[in-house]
Structure 1
């Protein structure tokens, strides 16, 4: 793809809305708008007993609570694993002795360049009070894998990053 021109329409935090005039691989010229995102880390924290730590977070965009895995946006000069470590501790108060990468997913490829880096976190230890961002309202809870999967089946968990990370962990034999 050849970018003919590009302009930023709006920026907020580390996310931008960018309009580009591009030439596609087939030679056709189009205008395409992309949400430019620095990427994120998604963490599947597995307790010593095999249960999963989740967060119940109020999401103003949806105007409702969302049951999901801990996750967050990668900060400038931060690796995905360092982001995973930071977000796990900020959102749950837990640290992990071991992080294992499950690879990446692209959640919104039609209009966003975000890449989500998936991790399994093991050897958990509660270290301190949570340090949530000002715009985060979060409750921490623990579910068995079976309870978590039933909530997905029942539609109580609809968060795609949670479903993708859990599915990848299961396929890879981590749960």
Structure 2
């Protein structure tokens, strides 16, 4: 296996003609839910797609950073957000065909943010506050197509259903 690229965030390996892409430090995804039960979703411009995407806050972990600390940092950096409780929803590998990187997912309960302090340099344009049924409709309709967001939403739903059974 030969490393062919490393920008400090991603490493690209060539394994006899098969490409493998790994995150150097892993990543974290935050599923922020307000006290009113609304999911906070970013409208973010993604240059590689040349379009606005609807996504949950997420980012790379810093070297040596614990996943929950990374989740808290990303929420603060991207939307000046905080929350009462960060609950681990586990990990997921989002493209096992080319990467083994496990991303850490967290449900942030009672999330709040400052809509006037969005991380514009990351392409964040505005926020949506969506109920559960709106999230499902946006996913069904293709308005939400980001895999991190879809997986995070599914994990949050399963966690919530599990909690309701007790």
Q: TM-score range by the shorter chain?
A: 0.7 to 0.9
Greater strand content: 1
Cα drift, residue 49 of structure 1: 0.5
Cα drift, residue 127 of structure 1: 6.4
Question: How does 1:104-115 map onto structure 2 within 5 Å?
Answer: 104-115=91-102
Greater helix content: 2
TM-score, with normalisation over the residues of structure 2?
A: 0.87
Per the alignment, do residues 131 and 52 of structure 1 end up closer, same or farther by CA in structure 2, a change over 3 Å counting? closer
Q: RMSD of the TM alignment (CA)?
A: 2.0
Give the secondary structure class of the aligned counterpart of 2:12. Answer: strand
Determine which structure has more spread, i.e. the larger CA radius of gyration.
1
The answer for the alignment partner of 2:12 in structure 1 is 17
TM-score, with normalisation over the residues of structure 1?
A: 0.83
Count of aligned residue pairs for this structure pair = 160
Distance in 1, Cα, partners of 2:66 & 2:116: 24
Distance in 1, Cα, partners of 2:98 & 2:120: 26
Distance in 1, Cα, partners of 2:140 & 2:114: 33
Question: How does 1:96-135 map onto structure 2 within 5 Å?
Answer: 96-126=83-113, 130=117, 132=119, 134=121
Runs of 4+ deviating beyond 4 Å: none
2:78 aligned residue (91, 103, 106): 91
1:33 aligned residue (19, 30, 34): 19
In structure 2, list runs of 5 or more residues that go unmatched: none
In structure 1, list runs of 5 or more residues that go unmatched: 1-5, 22-30
| Cα offsets for 1:122-163 (capped at 9, x unmatched) | 1324469636373x1102221111111111111111111111
Distance in 2, Cα, partners of 1:83 & 1:156: 27
Contact 2:88 2:107 in 1 (8 A): yes
Contact 2:115 2:127 in 1 (8 A): no
Cα drift, residue 90 of structure 1: 1.0
Give the secondary structure class of the aligned counterpart of 2:64. Answer: coil
Distance in 2, Cα, partners of 1:13 & 1:130: 27
The answer for the alignment partner of 1:24 in structure 2 is none
| Cα offsets for 1:65-86 (capped at 9, x unmatched) | 1001111111111111111001
